C-alpha cells in the first residue's frame, strides 16, 4: 500500500525540490503541505491532483507501486495530451496517423 506522504516526499526529492518549491509549482501554500506532515493528514483529492500536476504525472502514476514507473511529462507532452483529449474519435485517429507518418 502506498504511503501518500512518503510518495510526495520521494517524488519531491527526486526533483531536488523543497516543500516551498512544491508549493510554488502546485499552487498550494507551503503551510498546507507542511501541515500534512505535522498532523499526518492526507491531502484532499483536489490537492493531490495539484501535486500530481506539479510533478507532471497522473493520479494513477502517483499510486504505482514502483515510483520508477512514474513518467514525468514535459510541458509540450502535457499540452499534446490535453489537446488530443478534446478530439473526437475520427480526429484522434487522423492525428495518430499523421504522427506515425512523420
| pTM for the structure as a whole | 0.64
4-49: pLDDT as tens digits = 999 999 999 988 999 999 999 999 999 999 999 999 999 999 999 9
The closest of 79, 16, 15, 2 to 48, measured between CA atoms, is 2
Amino acid at each position: 500500500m502506498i504511503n501518500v506522504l512518503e510518495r510526495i516526499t520521494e517524488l519531491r526529492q527526486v526533483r531536488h525540490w523543497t516543500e516551498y518549491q512544491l508549493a510554488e509549482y502546485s499552487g498550494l501554500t507551503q503551510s498546507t503541505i507542511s501541515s500534512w506532515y505535522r498532523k499526518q493528514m492526507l491531502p484532499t483529492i483536489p490537492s493531490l491532483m495539484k501535486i500530481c500536476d506539479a510533478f507532471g504525472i497522473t493520479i494513477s502514476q502517483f499510486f504505482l507501486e514502483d515510483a520508477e514507473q512514474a513518467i514525468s511529462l514535459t510541458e509540450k507532452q502535457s499540452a499534446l495530451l490535453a489537446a488530443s483529449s478534446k478530439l473526437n474519435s475520427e480526429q484522434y485517429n487522423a492525428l495518430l496517423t499523421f504522427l506515425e507518418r512523420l
